[in-house]
């Protein structure tokens, strides 16, 4: 009998599991609706009945009542008679005033574009690539704007991990110039820039994306140290020289040869002894059931690119070697789904 692993536990594949997989999308549209309505905010001050919640939200009492019951069925609300209340974890993650608010991640984890594209995944498998006019490898791909704006649950921990890895090398440097290729939200580059008291962090991405990164830069207090280049990293001048370059969740959009081409450009932009950092999801480093989200991301690359696939860390090391980098090292951190490969320009 085949099995499935969830949260590290092996589960037998049976009719119950089959039905769970076939209906999993219902939990997605349930949480999307609740986040869009800010329903959890309406319960932040305490339990309330459906009519009260409907009055706060300006929604139909009938529709609100049905949605509240469905959320209770999904363990996202507690129900006591006709009143509904927030469980503790939901309060922390889904009330917008909470410091740990993560509801916006739904725009990345269940994007409209993904829903529209993946409904016909079988056709992408038949075709062997995207049917979109503009694929994910384009800097103007609309998904990357939401990715920059809302980030993911691994973004800030991943950026902190990258900074921790480079901290011993950065040492007592008073200046550190950073190139962030495919910068998205910019958090990887910002975390590296903060290892020194001065220096430039230069982010490269599509025009709409760098607008988001620029706002993030200002909020981070790095306004005077940031500049951005809008355009395709394969084509625009990258400037430099830089001490370190970071590519976070970038190379899985491209096959081996194209990834090498990009990293050779990065190599030219670095100072001698500079460092390059590749950070992101990988496949091939653990059994598929232990890297579920990475393989789901790879399905997106099948549907959204012409030849993109997630790489193993071993493949990243080959890409780096073919691009002129040496001394590559692989790093991981327990509880963090990202892997990081660091290498040196001779």
| Same domain, residue pair 310 and 161 | yes
312 closest CA partner among 341, 343, 292: 341
| Same domain, residue pair 201 and 276 | yes
* C-alpha to C-alpha distance for 225 and 200, rounded to whole angstroms: 5
Q: Give the pLDDT confidence of 46-80 residue by residue, as tens digits.
A: 999 999 999 999 999 999 999 999 999 999 999 99
CA dihedral 317, 246, 309, 161 (to 10 degrees): 80
Residue 11: the pLDDT is 66
pLDDT top residue among 105 and 322: 322
pLDDT tier at 83, thresholds 50, 70, 90: very high
Q: Is residue 78 part of a domain?
A: yes
CATH, residue 322: 3.40.50.150
| Same domain, residue pair 165 and 297 | yes
Q: Is residue 317 part of a domain?
A: yes
Domain boundary among 51, 67, 101: 101
Highest mean pLDDT among 9-23, 108-122, 258-272: 258-272
pLDDT top residue among 174 and 59: 59
* C-alpha to C-alpha distance for 212 and 215, rounded to whole angstroms: 5
The tokens describing 298, both together, are 């790879």
| Same domain, residue pair 96 and 147 | no
275 close to 241: Cβ distance less than 8 angstroms: no
How many CA atoms does the CB half-sphere of 190 hold within 13 Å?
Answer: 23
Split into its structural domains, the chain has a count of 2
| Same domain, residue pair 185 and 92 | no
- Which residues 6+ apart lie within 8 Å of 224 measured at CB? none
Residue 1: the pLDDT is 32
Say how many C-beta atoms besides its own lie within 10 A of residue 305's C-beta. 21
Q: Is residue 45 part of a domain?
A: yes
Q: In terms of residue numbers, what domain contains 331? A: 143-344
Residue 147: the pLDDT is 86
| Same domain, residue pair 165 and 289 | yes
Domain boundary among 49, 71, 101: 101
275 closest CA partner among 179, 198, 156, 171: 179
Q: Give the pLDDT confidence of 149-159 residue by residue, as tens digits.
A: 887 778 899 99
Residue 2: the pLDDT is 41
Q: Is residue 315 part of a domain?
A: yes
| Same domain, residue pair 94 and 166 | no
What are the C-alpha distances in Å from 244 to residues 157, 170, 184, 230, 276? Answer: 19, 10, 17, 20, 6
Q: Is residue 81 part of a domain?
A: yes
pLDDT tier at 108, thresholds 50, 70, 90: confident
Q: Is residue 124 part of a domain?
A: no
The tokens describing 197, both together, are 């008291």
| Same domain, residue pair 210 and 316 | yes
166 close to 275: Cβ distance less than 8 angstroms: yes
| Same domain, residue pair 183 and 300 | yes
């Amino acid at each position: 009998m085949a099995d499935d692993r969830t949260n590290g536990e092996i589960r037998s594949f049976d009719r119950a599991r089959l039905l769970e997989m076939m209906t999993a999308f219902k939990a997605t549209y349930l949480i999307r609706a609740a986040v869009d309505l800010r329903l959890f905010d309406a319960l932040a001050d305490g339990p309330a009945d459906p009519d009260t919640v409907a009055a706060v939200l300006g929604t139909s009492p009938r529709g609100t009542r049905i949605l509240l019951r469905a959320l209770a069925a999904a363990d996202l609300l507690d129900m006591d008679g006709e009143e509904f209340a927030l469980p503790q974890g939901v309060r922390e993650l889904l009330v917008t005033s909470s410091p740990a608010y993560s509801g916006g991640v739904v725009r990345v984890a269940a994007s409209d574009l993904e829903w529209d594209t993946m409904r016909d995944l079988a056709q992408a498998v038949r075709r062997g690539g995207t049917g979109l006019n503009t694929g994910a490898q384009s800097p103007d791909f609309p998904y990357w704007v939401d990715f920059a704006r809302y980030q993911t649950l691994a973004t800030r921990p991943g950026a902190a991990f990258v900074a921790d890895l480079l901290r011993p090398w950065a040492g007592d440097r008073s200046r550190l110039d950073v190139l962030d290729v495919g910068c998205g939200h910019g958090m990887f580059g910002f975390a590296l820039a903060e290892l020194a008291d001065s220096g430039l962090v230069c982010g490269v991405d599509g025009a709409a994306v760098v607008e988001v990164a620029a706002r993030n830069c200002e909020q981070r207090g790095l306004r005077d140290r940031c500049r951005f280049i809008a355009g395709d990293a394969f084509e625009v001048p990258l400037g430099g020289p830089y001490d370190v370059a970071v590519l976070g969740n970038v190379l899985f959009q491209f096959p081996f040869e194209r990834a090498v081409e990009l990293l050779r450009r990065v190599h030219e932009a670095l100072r001698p002894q500079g460092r390059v950092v590749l950070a992101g999801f990988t496949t091939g480093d653990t059994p598929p059931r232990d890297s579920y989200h990475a393989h789901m991301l790879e399905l997106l690359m099948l549907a959204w690119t012409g030849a993109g696939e997630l790489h193993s860390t071993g493949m990243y090391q080959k890409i780096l070697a073919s691009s002129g980098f040496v001394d590559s090292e692989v790093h991981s951190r327990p509880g963090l789904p990202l892997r990081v490969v660091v290498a040196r320009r001779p």
